[in-house]
Structure 1
Amino acid sequence: MTWEAYAVRYAEDTHRTEARSFLGGAGGDAPFPFAYHAFLLKGPDGWVAFDTGADEAACARYGKSFVQGLPRAMALLGIDPAAVRHVVQTHLHWDHAGQPGLFPNATFHMQAREMAFVTGPAMRHPMLRAGYEAADIAAHVALLHQGRLMLHDGRVDLLPGLTLLHAGGHTDGLQFAVLGTRRGRMVLAGDVVATRAHLDRRIPFPSLFHVGDALAGFEAVLAAADAPELVIPSHDPWVALAHPPALAGGEGWLVRLD
């Protein structure tokens, strides 16, 4: 089954340095810009959202420059948010799992380990709860109680040609997706791979729950993709620069990956 894949660059951080981006501070004060992406996938039965990103207010609180949001991207692509049937959340950090209310009729999909992580004793540690918003966690607990959040244990073949796999590392419940495209098997890596440089150097992003799982995640995404260039990181400016705009007006922020 062949999928179309679109990336939405909704924010950026042009002031980040390598020391803040690699475990151990490798690279020192060298500039290392970050981009923030959500993804929209079109399959034979309609659209799937992959991470719900964050809105302009959340970006401002975290000092990120807002570019364009998911609502604008969906409008340009002709997507009715109420018709989106499935939403995949890689994990519940603010920049990946904000604004779930954009999709009022969707079923959400997450690893059970992520929900256990964000509601369990690990959250007593400031380092591990950094990046989580209590309101986002509460919103997903509410979805669970509404029967709209499916908690998975490892691999799930969500739809024909679209598979979710657990990786962990960055958070305990982090997952990524493998999808069939006209270019071959593509991996939407989420925060398993923040940028291509992390994958090339085999050095994780410093926000970590488990170093060993993070390193194993690099191997997992490469094994799942048909080529290294089909591993799509979550925070690399390359994503929007190396792929063509999805349509007029999408240059630099709304691109087609497949």
Structure 2
Amino acid sequence: MTDIYDIYAVRYGHHFRHAAANFVGGDPHDAPMPLDYFVWVIRGENGTYLFDTGFDAAMAAKRKRDLVRPVEDGLRLIGITPDSVREIILSHLHFDHCGNHDLFPNARYHLQDVEMAYCTGRCMCHPVLRQPFEAEDVTNMVRKLYEGRVVFHDGVSEIAPNLIAHRVGGHSKGLQILRVLTRRGWVVLGSDAAHFYANVEEARPFPVVESITDMLDGYETMKRLASSPRHIIPGHDPLVLRRYPLHHPDIADIVRLDLDALG
């Protein structure tokens, strides 16, 4: 039997900003273009996987973001308790993707080698490069490493059948995306390889970037790996909630990405 997965995008946060902040070189229109914050649940016959872990209330206050719903509450709405999570894949170690350190006591974490080397090495001597990271997040990942709870990957890795991590870099040096087989074909969860649909569609990089070349190449990698452009899921675009069916009609910020897009 072919392994296929259900995918849920679970929004947990929001941040208002204008379009000029979302593109290298700004934007001539500079209309409102806010960020939404998500974690993603990938559920199949061989297990449940969490892609990224978000941030908690303390980090929301520190970074001046809106916590719409704590991550654990969003997970419970799709029948997942944090202590039941066994496998977590981290796209990268920026503050909004790897927090909630003590929420998943039974999970092991999948991470690219180069991401850990990047955020613990000489590049962090530069304030502009370390700004998206939090020392607490990085040191907590080191503690998990010494607890035997980190699995490292290098480049392309099959996490499970038809659930494949690809390192693309760009936004962060060790950023990885996921290629996931669903009933509608191969979906690519881009996380911060593209914050918005517009980044990919217009080849306009997001300004928090380690390598613009790798970011642009990452757009092409996502197009190659996805069954179609409509199978690419950006990491922070509020349009995701409008383009995909709701998991439950009374919950506006959890959608199913394994089902056909609306419209």
Q: Which TM-score band (shorter chain)?
A: over 0.9
Normalized against structure 1, the TM-score is what?
Answer: 0.96
Asked whether the 8 Å contact 1:8–1:69 carries over to 2, the reply is: no
Q: How far did 1:28 drift?
A: 5.5
| DSSP 3-state at the match of 2:246 | coil
User: How many percent of aligned residue pairs carry the same amino acid?
Assistant: 39
Q: How far did 1:209 drift?
A: 0.7
Normalized against structure 2, the TM-score is what?
Answer: 0.94
Q: How far did 1:18 drift?
A: 1.6
| DSSP 3-state at the match of 1:79 | coil
Measure, in 2, the Cα distance between the counterparts of 1:70 and 1:46.
Answer: 19
Q: How far did 1:103 drift?
A: 1.3
Give deviations 1:169-203, integer Å, cap 9, x for gaps.
11110000000001100000010011001111101
For 2:118, the equivalent position in structure 1 comes to: 117
Which amino acid in 1 is paired with 2:109? F
Asked whether the 8 Å contact 1:23–1:203 carries over to 2, the reply is: yes
The answer to whether residue 191 in structure 2 is matched with residue 190 in structure 1 is yes
Asked whether the 8 Å contact 2:155–2:166 carries over to 1, the reply is: yes
Write the mapping of 1:68-147 to structure 2, written as runs, cut at 5 A: 68-147=69-148
Measure, in 2, the Cα distance between the counterparts of 1:69 and 1:245.
Answer: 19
Give deviations 1:80-108, integer Å, cap 9, x for gaps.
32222210000000111111322111110
| DSSP 3-state at the match of 2:102 | helix
Measure, in 2, the Cα distance between the counterparts of 1:132 and 1:193.
Answer: 18
For 2:261, the equivalent position in structure 1 comes to: none
Which amino acid in 1 is paired with 2:120? T
For 2:218, the equivalent position in structure 1 comes to: 217
Measured at CA, do residues 55 and 160 of structure 1 come closer, stay the same or move farther in structure 2, by a change above 3 Å?
same
Asked whether the 8 Å contact 2:9–2:40 carries over to 1, the reply is: yes
Measure, in 2, the Cα distance between the counterparts of 1:39 and 1:233.
Answer: 11
Measure, in 1, the Cα distance between the counterparts of 2:102 and 2:222.
Answer: 30
Which amino acid in 2 is paired with 1:2? I
The answer to whether residue 10 in structure 2 is matched with residue 8 in structure 1 is yes
Measure, in 1, the Cα distance between the counterparts of 2:83 and 2:104.
Answer: 6
Q: How far did 1:60 drift?
A: 2.2
For 1:257, the equivalent position in structure 2 comes to: 257
Gaps in structure 2 of 5+ consecutive residues: 259-263
Which amino acid in 1 is paired with 2:11? R
CA RMSD of aligned residues (A): 1.2
Asked whether the 8 Å contact 2:179–2:225 carries over to 1, the reply is: yes
| DSSP 3-state at the match of 2:247 | coil
The answer to whether residue 21 in structure 2 is matched with residue 17 in structure 1 is no
Write the mapping of 1:31-46 to structure 2, written as runs, cut at 5 A: 31-46=32-47
For 1:26, the equivalent position in structure 2 comes to: 27
Write the mapping of 1:232-247 to structure 2, written as runs, cut at 5 A: 232-247=233-248
Asked whether the 8 Å contact 2:8–2:254 carries over to 1, the reply is: yes
| DSSP 3-state at the match of 1:246 | strand
> What is the total number of aligned residue pairs between the two structures?
256
Measure, in 2, the Cα distance between the counterparts of 1:82 and 1:100.
Answer: 12
Write the mapping of 1:156-195 to structure 2, written as runs, cut at 5 A: 156-195=157-196
| DSSP 3-state at the match of 1:40 | strand
Q: How far did 1:248 drift?
A: 4.3
Asked whether the 8 Å contact 2:11–2:74 carries over to 1, the reply is: no
Asked whether the 8 Å contact 1:17–1:28 carries over to 2, the reply is: no
Measure, in 1, the Cα distance between the counterparts of 2:177 and 2:35.
Answer: 19
Measured at CA, do residues 120 and 256 of structure 1 come closer, stay the same or move farther in structure 2, by a change above 3 Å?
same
Measure, in 1, the Cα distance between the counterparts of 2:123 and 2:27.
Answer: 27
Q: How far did 1:116 drift?
A: 0.3
Asked whether the 8 Å contact 1:128–1:209 carries over to 2, the reply is: yes
Measure, in 1, the Cα distance between the counterparts of 2:202 and 2:84.
Answer: 41
